[in-house]
Amino acid sequence: MRQDRNKNEGGRPQRKPARYAEDRKREVNSFERKGAPRFRKRTDNSEQDFFEEEHPWQKKGRIAKAPKKDGFYEKKITRKTYSDDYDPNAKYSKKKQMEYKKNASNGEMRLNRFLSNAGVCSRREADDFIQAGVVSVNGKVVSELGTKVKMTDVVKFHDQTVKVERKVYILLNKPKDCVTTLDDPQGRMSVIDLVKDACNERIYPVGRLDKNTTGVLLLTNDGEMTAQLTHPKYNKKKIYHVFLDKPVSEEDLQKILTGINLEDGEIHADAAEIVDDDPCQIGIEIHSGRNRIVRRIFEHLGYDVQKLDRVYFAGLTKKNLPRGRYRFLTDKEVKMLQMGAYE
């Protein structure tokens, strides 16, 4: 019995040859051979089409009549116009980007977060102030934790109106003979004096460096970030360059790594090695945030620290930043600190 030429051996319809699809495509688009343009949809899924090819009969603002097999296409050609002050290449400074990209929502937020964002204190400290009854919202004292406020509410802390400021992040290469306190009763130069012209917001140092210790120091008005960077729970990575009065022995270097007992407990460094083949210069990596911990380690072993320089703190370095100078953090650095994407 002769097999149907349109079916294969299994009884299923036989697939058309490739040239059939090409012939069908030519038949459907036969009007293109008569000079008609081809149309395609916009990528933004709008109802308006646009021409793939330019033709002499296309004119701005008029009804274009394209020839078709039966009748005409009627298409109004429009072009997007811009105002005279439009600048497609406009750019903003990093400082403005930090201000504009910050969340400026008028939605509700917890009161402790509001105080933290305003640079008053950390969230944990804000809860203590709220329970103490020193915070009021729209004239009423609030003592209940979890209270939410709006950006339009009037919040007062110790009878002073609290305003949410834009967040400022400044990296300073701290010089010698400079204290990290906000107000020194002895009138000594402080880190605030070095950055007083940087911004109008009230900023403060994140952590402390001794008067004679130099290097990386972060200043900000972000209370939440400050709490995260200084809380003992997180123990941010710090690297110091230590200059000693005499060469360090291999035995003492090993003690620093394995651990030594100080008056406030045992401490050990994560890494310690000689710098530039000079046994009087030591590079030490540590996570502890105890007061004067690096100096106390070497003093415990009988060394006098002549110079101490912090070269790394929570992912930030003093690269290309001269001593006594400061700079604003980049957007990338701020996001890194906010996400905790550092050691």
From the list 214, 203, 226, the residue with the least C-alpha distance to 314 is 226
- In angstroms, the CA 2 to CA 262 distance is 101
* CA gap 246, 260 in Å, rounded: 20
Query: Which H or E run contains 94?
Result: helix 94-101
Length of the chain: 343
Phi, psi for residue 119 in degrees, rounded to 5: 80, 15
Q: Helix (H, G, I), strand (E, B), or coil: what is residue 241?
A: strand
Residue 177 known to be catalytic: no
Residue type, 302: G
Instruction: Report how far residue 79's alpha carbon sits from residue 44's, in angstroms, rounded to the nearest whole number.
Output: 15
Question: Rounded to a whole number, what is the distance in angstroms from the first to the last CA of the chain?
Answer: 81
Residue of 127, 184, 210, 270 with catalytic role? 210
Taking alpha carbons only, the member of 199, 198, 115 closest to residue 163 is 115
CB atoms within 10 A of CB 312: 20
d(CA 53, CA 66): 12
E strand map for 229-340:
238-244, 260-262, 265-267, 271-275, 278-286, 305-313, 316-317, 326-328
Q: Are strands 278-286 and 213-220 parallel, antiparallel or unpaired?
A: unpaired
CA-closest candidate to residue 51, choices 65, 41, 63: 41
Tokens (6 digits) for 82 = 């811009």
Q: Please choose, from the candidates 183, 212, 198, the residue with its C-alpha nearest in 3D space to the C-alpha of residue 325.
A: 198
Residue 301 CA to residue 254 CA, distance in Å, equals 12
Which residues carry out catalysis? 210
